[in-house]
Structure 1
């Protein structure tokens, strides 16, 4: 891919600003944002604007030859949009910050974002549309399903499994071999020492369930 490659970013919120920085840090550029509203407005400090409405881009097939990425914080919405764009033939490569450290034996699915300072170690598998945020650590043999968000500074020890749509909060620690169920939420700073059921919210050290779906 050319160092001058330009990207379209779906989603002009806070995560979109971070992804714009990631793209530029990787030596590429931002062609513009696609959002639900606000065509023409400047969407981030680098000066890129909203160039079109999401519904217009989703109707009538694939209107651009540019690669695109989905920068939406909501896990479910992000994954659904990635799947729609994939069906329409959009190219959605993973984006990896040059200051991230990725094992050669790790795999990262399309549409995923790996931010500055993140570490993904040997034999880990990252699904599509996953956010591995700033300074997060993914140890060996971790399996992360699609549409997951691993927040800044979180640590997943070896052989952890994270189900689709789950969210691991900032600074949380998950010990070896624990399974985080689909759509579960691990609160910021939690220390998880046993499996978390699907749809549950856990907080504290050691973590405890405070909410279930």
Structure 2
């Protein structure tokens, strides 16, 4: 079993810690958190070693980002380039043939990723989410629990799919979009939109993106 540092000590990091235990390939050596007040304390059974300066490759080169925010994961992965970011898959997840899953991605309990799907780096595929066959999920996306993407869906980077949201087959969702919980998206969505309702209605930021 290899050692692993877990970056973060909040709620998402706690469920990643559960995922690490269930995965069975790694043992958490300690938590990394930028809050100096947490250093030396304990969170969900693991010691907070300190900020990123506490990382030492003498013990391991494995690091996982237990951070829920998509853009923060991207920033940290760039700042911490050179570390090895494992892919963590829960044993109850169902992974089809010819599926590609990027480094640093977490696949949570009972998620389903169907044949030929591609998942980018540092994504979160949360509890019970379904990724349809041939779908393409860009880097730094979060597909929340019980959401469902039909076959051939494309999510560009930094998309957040809320709990229970549905994206119908063949739809493309451009980067930086947010699909709210319970929404249904049945047509292509331009960059930076927030989609609410069923059927989904897209709203764009003040720049008029999309």
> TM (normalized to structure 1)?
0.91
The answer to whether 1:170 aligns with 2:168 is no
1:45-60 superposed matches below 5 A = 47-54=45-52, 56-57=53-54
- Output one character per residue of 1:125-162: Cα deviation in whole Å (capped at 9) or x when no partner: 00000000000000101001100000001100000000
> In the alignment, does 2:42 pair up with 1:68?
no
Normalising by structure 2, report the TM-score: 0.92
Displacement of 1:57 in angstroms is 4.8
1:185 paired residue number: 178
Provide closer, same or farther for how the CA distance between residues 18 and 94 of structure 1 changes in structure 2, counting only shifts above 3 A: same
- Once the 2 structures are TM-superposed, how far is the Cα of residue 42 of structure 1 from its aligned partner? 1.3
Structure 2 segments unaligned to the other structure (5+ residues): none
What CA distance in whole angstroms lies between the structure 1 residues aligned with 2:21 and 2:193? Answer: 37
| Among 33, 36, 39, the residue aligned to 2:34 | 36
**For the Cα contact (< 8 Å) 2:3–2:60, is it kept in 1?**
no
Secondary structure class of the residue paired with 2:64: strand
The alignment covers a number of residue pairs equal to: 203
For residue 195 of structure 1, report the CA deviation from its aligned partner: 1.0
Asked if 1:139 corresponds to 2:136, the answer is no
Q: What is the CA deviation profile of residues 14-73 of structure 1, one whole-angstrom value per residue up to 9, with x for unaligned ones?
A: 1100000000011232211101121111111xx10111212x257xx8564241100111
RMSD of equivalent CA atoms: 1.5
Mapping for residues 1-213 of structure 1, pairs under 5 Å: 4-27=1-24, 28-37=26-35, 38-44=38-44, 47-54=45-52, 56-57=53-54, 62=57, 64-85=59-80, 87=81, 89-212=82-205
CA distance in 1, matches of 2:101, 2:205: 30
